[in-house]
Amino acid sequence: MTLSPELLLDMAAQRLRTARPELSGRLDLSSPRALRAAKGRIAALDGPDGTDGALVVCVVSRFDLHNWVRETCRFALGLPADEIAAWRRSFTRTVYLSGRPDNLRQRFPFGHIGDDGAVAWTRPAPDAATATLRRLLKTFNGPQPLTSWQPTTVEIPAIAPAGRAPIHRAVYVATAKATVATVLVQLNHLLAEAVMDGLIAGGDRLTVRAVPRLTGVGEPFAALRIDTDTHRPDELQAYAGLTEETDLAPAH
């Protein structure tokens, strides 16, 4: 797949149309700058305090990429349909905070805590529902560069029958000039929305691979995470991609 500027813009615009179909015909989505302005208009419509949107808070005590991929998918798979719909309308908006879930679980009702206790998620809700938690904890900065790793395969736990046989896909993460915080944000959007679209289900295997950039990846993509280029704000960048089903032997 050639990741041309036109393709990136088309796929980014389609994400907006999917999340907010009632608004898509009224918005200019003809350029990266216009797309950014459209997102700003939608945020204004949802209210300055997020009363008409849905926010998830993710509390992180330590970050392990492969565990986090598995648990992110597990969290999204466990959400009921109404919460999924509300979160998608808010473009799977998520805030990352530094904290120890085990020390907080008695005070705050988390929707999911990872098996290793390192990460926890609140359920999608208006901003006010997590205001106290967000005031208590600091933002998870993760400023360090994301280093490369050997391809590693994780299996997504089955929450409920998937309705299809498990499949294997690859998740490619662009690491050039990427920090841990950037990857948390961008990969979260890709994985959560792939779960919503049925591209990831319980029992599936995902081989997580690092590449400097997604350009040149030979496998076809089923989904891409596209956002404003951090260093060139009038251009778009592909930060992560989920491939079509692959027959390649998964890495371990």
Residues 19-29 have pLDDT tens digits of 999 987 888 99
Closest Cα to residue 57, out of 167, 152, 173, 139? 139
Residues 173-231 have pLDDT tens digits of 999 989 999 999 999 999 999 999 999 999 999 999 999 999 989 899 999 999 998 88
Please determine, for residue 66, whether its predicted confidence score (pLDDT) is greater than 80. Answer: yes
pTM given for the model: 0.93
Residues 170-183 have pLDDT tens digits of 999 999 989 999 99
Other CB atoms within a 10 A radius of the CB of residue 60 amount to 22
Closest Cα to residue 161, out of 121, 188, 194, 198? 198
Confirm if 244 and 13 have CB atoms less than 8 A apart.
no
Per-position b or e across 153-166, b if 16+ CB within 10 A of its CB: bbebeebeebeeee
Please determine, for residue 140, whether its predicted confidence score (pLDDT) is greater than 70. Answer: yes
